Chain A
């Protein structure tokens, strides 16, 4: 069974840092692009970042560029999101998602269950 399990969320003060992880299983992790998508409480979905299969290419939404870093460890089947200089508006559930096929523009399927990040003093 294809599965994505996020962890690492929690409460952090403004200006702080947090690293999210997404453990993948049930598929050849090193063959797929991976993404992070977030959802603020009561709001819609917002794409955050993506990384290609070998980790050599990344891209970010303007709202997080320069503050967040996406990475992956294919030996550990794990995706990461390092979040620095966190702001209140970064408060959201963060989902990791796999690209359906092998392109960076494929739809997202499947998704993890999400991990909540709360930025507050």
Chain B
């Protein structure tokens, strides 16, 4: 089955740029979606189809996908961005959704 690999944690100072990676075999050929989950809350879609942003999500959130790595970039990080972030794709061979293990973003 398809595996997505995320770093367990990323730390960034307020106002700086956070980059969260999601690795997978030839992930650039797949569509990647990103979710934000704050403690005790349901996940929220923040980036879909690699780089599209749902209405209501700040422009500070952006995404890219190429080769074996997809990246969620959060510019001008704020304290309120502190959360777990998950990448997700569809595995065409099994026709199942696959999530990465999640990355905890800490704002220093």
Which residues of A does B touch, CB under 8 Å?
35, 37, 44-47, 50, 59, 61, 95, 100, 105, 107-114
Of A95, A108, A112, A114, which is in contact with the most chain B CB atoms at under 10 Å from its CB? A108
Q: Are A59 and B96 in contact (CB under 8 A)?
A: yes
Q: What's the Cα separation between A59 and B100 when bound, in Å? A: 20
Q: Are A47 and B42 in contact (CB under 8 A)?
A: no
* B48 part of interface (Cβ distance < 8 Å): yes
Range for the number of chain B residues in contact with chain A: 20 to 34
- Name the CB-closest residue of B to A111: B42
Q: Are A105 and B45 in contact (CB under 8 A)?
A: no
Among B45, B49, B98, B101, the residue within 8 A (CB) of A47 is B98
CB distance from B9 to the nearest CB of A (A): 13
Q: Are A111 and B44 in contact (CB under 8 A)?
A: yes
Q: Sample 13 A-B pairs with CB under 8 A, ordered by A number.
A: A45-B35, A45-B37, A45-B43, A45-B99, A45-B102, A47-B96, A47-B97, A47-B98, A59-B95, A107-B88, A108-B43, A108-B97, A114-B42
- Name the CB-closest residue of A to B48: A107
Q: Identify whether the interface residues of B are mostly helix, strand, loop, or mixed.
A: strand
Residues of A within 8 A of B96 (CB): 47, 59, 61
- Name the CB-closest residue of B to A48: B97
Residues of A within 8 A of B48 (CB): 100, 107, 109
Q: Mark B25-38, 1 if CB is under 8 A from A, else 0.
A: 00000010101010
Residues of A within 8 A of B31 (CB): 105
With A59-B95, A59-B96: A45-B33 Cβ-Cβ less than 8 Å? no
Q: Which 10 A-B pairs have the closest CB atoms?
A: A47-B97, A107-B33, A109-B45, A111-B42, A107-B48, A105-B90, A44-B102, A45-B99, A44-B101, A45-B86
- Name the CB-closest residue of B to A61: B96
- Name the CB-closest residue of A to B88: A107
Q: Are B42 and A113 in contact (CB under 8 A)?
A: yes
- Name the CB-closest residue of A to B37: A45
Q: Which of B66-108 contact A (CB under 8 A)?
A: 86, 88, 90, 95-102
